[in-house]
Amino acid sequence: AQSVTQLDSHVSVSEGTPVLLRCNYSSSYSPSLFWYVQHPNKGLQLLLKYTSAATLVKGINGFEAEFKKSETSFHLTKPSAHMSDAAEYFCVVSVGWNGGYNKLIFGAGTRLAVHP
Amino acid sequence: NAGVMQNPRHLVRRRGQEARLRCSPMKGHSHVYWYRQLPEEGLKFMVYLQKENIIDESGMPKERFSAEFPKEGPSILRIQQVVRGDSAAYFCASSPGEVEPYEQYFGPGTRLTVT
């Protein structure tokens, strides 16, 4: 069965320092993986997605993630945090079905705080 | 191209009342998904619908919850006889369904509070 584990419920960084949000997945198939961001009281925005092409995926706002099959990891990174990055981040694995349907399995989320 | 629309954005119901949540998918999208987010948790899949069909409702509670996506109009998530435990944010997502990896686009959510 597919599942996602986000290893940190809270991460706190200083503005301008690197961000690392960790995610491990479990999947019986070659997975599709996503990172979504949720700002307070807002909907979800797709940051980036991995779909079995390049293992290093670049997303919006300077974020990127690397798919490592041997470690079953898909960690999210950013070289330099900005105050506006403070939000909840979700690592997501897709359960694929035939006919264009995929069910998303969400991790519990990591709350990122950015301090001046 | 407008995104996924959900209304109302906030809904307050007393215990025992009914809650109706609406979702209009993006233009051209025929696949709709509903997710529930309890406080301090990630989103949990509830149901997947195509026009006039429920494809997968494995995440729906067995009682009081129902969903539909009629030929015309928005998708509706209906909760009968609400209880305090139904208080949550309910998100709708849509996808075109024909392009891998079937990326889902999320609406802003409806925050249901049961008093």
Could you report the per-residue pLDDT of A73-85, keeping only the tens digit for each? 999 999 999 999 9
pLDDT value of residue A43? 81
Calpha distance A3→A60 (Å, rounded): 25
In terms of CA atoms, which chain B residue is nearest residue A45? B106
How many angstroms separate the most distant Cα atoms in chain B?
A: 42
pLDDT value of residue A54? 82
Of B91, B98, B103, the CB nearest to A46: B103
Min Cα–Cα distance to chain B from A103, Å = 7
Is 90 exceeded by the pLDDT of residue A112?
yes
pLDDT value of residue A65? 97
- Kindly list the residues from chain A whose CB atom is less than 8 angstroms away from the CB atom of residue B102: 94, 96, 100-102
For B17-61, give the secondary structure using H, E and C. Answer: CCEEEEEECCCCCCEEEEEEECCCCCEEEEEEEECCEEEECCCCC
Min Cα–Cα distance to chain A from B16, Å = 26
pLDDT top residue among B67 and A2: B67
Mean pLDDT value across residues A84-92 = 95
Calpha distance A35→A49 (Å, rounded): 7
Model confidence band, residue A10 (pLDDT cutoffs 50, 70, 90): very high
- Kindly list the residues from chain A whose CB atom is less than 8 angstroms away from the CB atom of residue B97: 99-101
Calpha distance B36→B91 (Å, rounded): 6
pLDDT value of residue A62? 96
Residue A109 burial class via C-beta count within 10 angstroms: exposed 0-12, middle 13-18, buried 19 and up: buried
Tokens representing residue A96 in the block: 């694929």
In terms of CA atoms, which chain B residue is nearest residue A38? B108
Contact B104 A102 (CB under 8 A): yes
Could you report the per-residue pLDDT of B37-56, keeping only the tens digit for each? 988 788 999 999 988 899 88
Residues of chain A with a CB closer than 8 angstroms to some CB in chain B: 32, 36, 41-46, 49, 51, 90, 94, 96-97, 99-109
Could you report the per-residue pLDDT of B54-111, keeping only the tens digit for each? 988 999 999 999 999 998 899 999 999 999 999 999 999 998 866 555 678 899 999 9
Which neighbouring-strand residues pair with B23?
Answer: B6, B75
pLDDT value of residue A99? 53
Is 80 exceeded by the pLDDT of residue A96?
no
